[in-house]
């Protein structure tokens, strides 16, 4: 019967394989450098913007969103969702933190679910102090409106982020533009 | 007719192979390697894709299937009238469109007819009536102008126009 027989070389190879795999897992998932902190903040912000049918309450999500946006935050987006059931169209083109959050909460009840996936995240630090960074990525939002219509919207996101005195990375500005457009 | 001399010859050509034991470890390793190679090829070279939507009809019908050849634009430059796969957003959504204008060119649409640098573009692949109008605009450096073959819907409902050239992902192989 040919079973797995381990001689010394095989043991060394196995241990080396385990070490390499562990190092790779640590490098890609658990390493905490500045770029990872920025990416985590971005993912956190997206998680607060998402809506699941049985998700957490609006207040909790609002607080989480506000925490991630800096005091001098500005936004420039063209995200538009029509709420035909209420005869309303909300457009997320707010300029300040408070306006963005209030627009988002006006828009949110029109959706049954909203999930956002980020890809191609690129972090560029402005200088060696690594206290400010530009983040570029693509985002795909999918979900259902209250009318039961499925939607899928893709945007290119460009955000300016700063590391504030408390060591937290916060958004200074956010720009969302269509991936493809006639304009 | 069989002769007596032929019979021993036939017998000598048949033989029984000794029953070989299956080496499950080798089978598992080979299957693993084959699966790994297939996954890598499907991710980086030939990506299987399901076509969802009618914007490329009648060239591609909705619910069709194709493979995207992803390294294409690492070897060749994009060309007008070429059907291309574009990265949309997220990991799993791509757009299938046709290149209409290249960087530095101007594009205009009048009553459904496309004009490139003021000259009418022949488009035999557009089979459905189109009444779109779009004022003259220039394709800046690093961008391309793409459209689908089906322009029967209102222009606002069609996903097309200017897109960054770095979003070219590949070409469909059929």
Q: Both tokens of residue B4? A: 């007596």
pLDDT at A1: 46
Q: Helices A34-49 & A58-68, crossing angle to 10 degrees?
A: 150
Which residues of chain B from 111 to 150 reach within 8 Å of chain A, CB to CB?
134, 146
Q: How many CB atoms lie within 10 A of CB B123?
A: 17
Q: Of the candidates A4, A138, A183, which has its C-beta nearest B90's C-beta?
A: A138
CB contact at 8 A, A68 and A48: yes
- Please return the burial class of B138, using the count of CB atoms within 10 Å of its CB with bins 0-12, 13-18 and 19+: middle
CA distance A155 to A119: 11
Residues in Cβ contact with A68 at an 8 Å cutoff, skipping those fewer than 6 apart: A41, A44, A45, A48, A170, A171
Q: Which DSSP helix (H) or strand (E) runs through A18? A: helix A8-25
Mind spelling out the 3-state secondary structure of B46-111? EEEEECCCCCCCCCCCCCCEEEEECCHHHHCCCCCCCEEEEECCCCCCEEEEEEEECCCCEEEEEC
pLDDT per position as a tens digit, A128-160: 788 899 999 999 988 888 888 888 888 899 989
pLDDT at A96: 77
Q: Do B91 and A119 touch (CB under 8 A)?
A: yes
Q: What angle do CA A64, A69, A75 make, to 5 degrees?
A: 125
pLDDT 10s per residue in chain B (174 long)? 444 444 445 555 666 676 677 788 889 999 999 999 999 999 999 999 999 989 999 999 988 999 999 999 999 999 999 999 999 987 788 999 999 999 999 999 999 999 999 999 999 999 999 999 999 999 999 999 999 999 999 998 899 999 999 999 999 998
- Is it the case that residue A36 has pLDDT exceeding 70? yes
Task: Name the DSSP letter for residue B156.
Answer: G
Query: DSSP letter string over A117-155?
Result: EEEEEEEEESSTT--EEEEEEEEEEEEEETTS-EEEEEE
CA distance B93 to B86: 9
Whether A119 contacts chain B with CB within 8 A: yes
Domain boundaries, chain A: 32-178
Instruction: Give the CATH fold of the B48-172 domain.
Output: Umud Fragment, subunit A (2.10.109)
- Please return the burial class of A108, using the count of CB atoms within 10 Å of its CB with bins 0-12, 13-18 and 19+: middle
pLDDT per position as a tens digit, A42-100: 888 888 888 876 666 666 667 777 777 777 677 776 666 554 445 556 566 656 777 77
Chain B residue whose CA is closest to A115: B90
pLDDT at B83: 97
Q: At the top level of CATH, which class does the domain A32-178 belong to?
A: alpha beta
Q: Do A180 and B95 touch (CB under 8 A)?
A: yes
């Amino acid at each position: 019967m040919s079973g797995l027989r381990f001689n010394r070389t095989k043991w060394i190879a196995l241990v080396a394989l385990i070490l390499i795999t562990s190092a790779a897992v640590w490098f890609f998932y658990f390493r905490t450098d500045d770029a990872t902190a920025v990416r985590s903040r971005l993912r956190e912000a997206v998680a607060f913007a998402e809506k699941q049918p049985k998700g957490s309450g609006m207040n909790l999500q609002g607080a989480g969103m506000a925490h991630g946006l800096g005091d001098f935050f500005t936004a420039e987006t063209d995200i538009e969702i029509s709420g035909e059931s209420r005869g309303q169209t909300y457009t997320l083109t707010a300029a300040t933190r408070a306006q963005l959050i209030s627009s988002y909460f006006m828009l949110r009840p029109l959706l049954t679910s909203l999930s956002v996936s980020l890809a191609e995240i690129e972090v560029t630090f402005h200088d060696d102090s690594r206290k400010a960074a530009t983040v570029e990525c693509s985002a795909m939002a999918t979900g259902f409106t209250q009318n039961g219509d499925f939607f899928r919207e893709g945007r290119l996101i460009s955000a300016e982020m700063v590391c504030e005195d408390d060591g937290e990375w916060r958004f200074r500005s956010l720009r969302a533009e269509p991936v493809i457009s006639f304009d | 007719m069989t002769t007596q001399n032929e019979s021993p010859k036939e017998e000598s050509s048949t033989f029984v192979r000794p029953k070989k034991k299956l080496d499950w470890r080798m089978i598992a390793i080979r299957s693993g390697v084959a699966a790994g190679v297939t996954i890598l090829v499907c991710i980086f070279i030939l990506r299987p894709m399901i076509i969802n939507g009618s914007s490329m009809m009648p060239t591609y019908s909705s619910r069709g299937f194709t493979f995207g050849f992803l390294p294409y634009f690492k070897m060749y430059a994009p060309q007008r009238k070429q059907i291309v796969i574009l990265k949309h957003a997220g990991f799993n959504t791509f757009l299938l469109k046709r290149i209409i204008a290249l960087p530095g060119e101007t594009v205009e649409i009048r009553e459904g007819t496309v004009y490139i640098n003021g000259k009418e573009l022949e488009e035999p692949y557009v089979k459905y009536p189109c009444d779109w109008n779009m004022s003259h605009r220039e394709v800046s450096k690093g961008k391309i102008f793409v459209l689908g073959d089906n322009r029967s819907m209102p222009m606002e409902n069609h996903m097309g126009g200017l897109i960054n050239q770095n979003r070219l992902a590949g070409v469909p192989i059929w």
